[in-house]
């Protein structure tokens, strides 16, 4: 199973929110690049970075943090938050992201995202499908769209999407366990997807339950910062 630690950024700092609520913010470290280097030292190869200021402001805000992480590690970094225009996605790639996650713009301007898939290739684009009560949420999870999850995914699978990051917002940052049934429903509908589960992971047992359900990848953050997961043991078990 692909294990992907997460770094969420507000004001240049490593933070976590609860259920996407900016008012429920905990700052864990003032140097995201230092946190990233620590993940690499333990043995992780991938990193998921979210510019929460960017998601809220609708343009990239913490590009320098991405550049710092790329300069100080060899991690394969995927970056999301605030990617709305050609200039934004180009900035993310120029800053060193190997992949980008697009969410809100995929709801609001699908034709632009289809163009990016063709321009950059499906291996470099991750479709963000953040779900609340069955609907795709947008703009830093402040709004719910009218898009239902599976039909939304269908049009992107048909367009060539290979990578999907799905967050169950009601689980995110709660340490209450992942929404395994939700991820299973996606895999049953689209078994060829590289699905990245996100939200609710609280323990190694949660990660193993996702793996047993056939989910190919997982993003997790708060369980790390709250000391719920022995990362070295996790890496050893996954080898």
Please give the Cα distance from 114 to 224 (Å, whole number).
35
86 classed as catalytic: no
Catalytic position from the list 78, 130, 172, 206: 130
Sign of CA dihedral 166, 169, 175, 178: negative
Q: Show the DSSP H helices in the chain as ranges.
A: 32-42, 52-57, 63-72, 86-94, 104-108, 110-120, 149-158, 180-189, 204-212, 222-225, 231-238
Catalytic position from the list 8, 51, 53, 206: 8
Query: What's the Cα-to-Cα distance from 54 to each of 78, 139, 168, rounded to whole Å?
Result: 15, 9, 20
* Global pTM value: 0.94
Q: C-alpha angle 207/213/219, rounded to 5°?
A: 35
The predicted pLDDT at position 125 comes to: 98
53 classed as catalytic: no
Structure tokens at 139: 């703009």
List, for residues 64-102, the tens digit of each pLDDT value.
999 999 999 999 999 999 999 999 999 999 999 999 999
Please give the Cα distance from 32 to 29 (Å, whole number).
7
> Taking all residues of the chain, what is their mean pLDDT, rounded to a whole number?
94
The DSSP result for 95-121, as a single string, is TT-SEEEE-HHHHH-HHHHHHHHHHH-
Contact 82, 51 (CB under 8 A): yes
Q: How confident is the model at residue 16 (pLDDT cuts 50, 70, 90)?
A: confident
Please give the Cα distance from 154 to 101 (Å, whole number).
17
Average of per-residue pLDDT across 3-9: 97
Query: What's the Cα-to-Cα distance from 186 to each of 70, 149, 197, 216, 235, rounded to whole Å?
Result: 32, 9, 10, 12, 26
Please give the Cα distance from 169 to 136 (Å, whole number).
10
The predicted pLDDT at position 58 comes to: 87
The DSSP result for 197-220, as a single string, is EES---SHHHHHHHHHTT--EEEE
Q: How confident is the model at residue 6 (pLDDT cuts 50, 70, 90)?
A: very high
Average of per-residue pLDDT across 113-134: 96
Count the Cβ atoms, other than its own, within 10 Å of residue 71. 10
Q: How confident is the model at residue 206 (pLDDT cuts 50, 70, 90)?
A: very high
> Count of residues for the chain?
239
Average of per-residue pLDDT across 177-193: 96
Q: How confident is the model at residue 144 (pLDDT cuts 50, 70, 90)?
A: confident
């Amino acid at each position: 199973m692909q294990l992907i630690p997460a770094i969420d950024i507000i004001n240049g700092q490593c933070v976590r929110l609860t259920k996407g609520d900016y008012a429920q913010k905990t700052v864990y470290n003032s140097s995201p690049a230092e946190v990233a280097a620590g993940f690499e030292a333990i043995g992780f190869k991938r990193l998921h970075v979210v510019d929460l200021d960017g998601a809220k402001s609708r343009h990239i805000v913490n590009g320098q943090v991405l550049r710092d992480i790329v300069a100080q590690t060899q991690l394969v970094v995927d970056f999301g938050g605030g990617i709305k225009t050609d200039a934004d996605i180009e900035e993310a790639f120029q800053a060193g992201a190997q992949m980008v996650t697009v969410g809100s713009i995929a709801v609001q301007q699908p034709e632009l995202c289809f163009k990016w898939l063709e321009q950059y290739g499906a291996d470099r684009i991750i479709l963000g499908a953040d779900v609340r009560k069955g609907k795709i949420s947008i703009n830093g999870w402040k709004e719910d769209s009218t898009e239902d999850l599976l039909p939304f995914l269908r049009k992107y699978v048909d367009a060539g999407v290979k990578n999907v990051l799905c967050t169950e917002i009601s689980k995110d940052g709660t340490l209450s366990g992942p929404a395994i049934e939700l991820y299973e429903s996606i895999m049953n509908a689209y078994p060829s997807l590289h699905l990245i589960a996100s939200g609710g992971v609280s323990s190694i047992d949660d990660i193993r339950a996702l793996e047993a359900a056939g989910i190919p990848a997982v993003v997790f953050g708060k369980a790390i910062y709250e000391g719920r997961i022995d990362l070295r043991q996790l890496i050893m078990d996954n080898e």
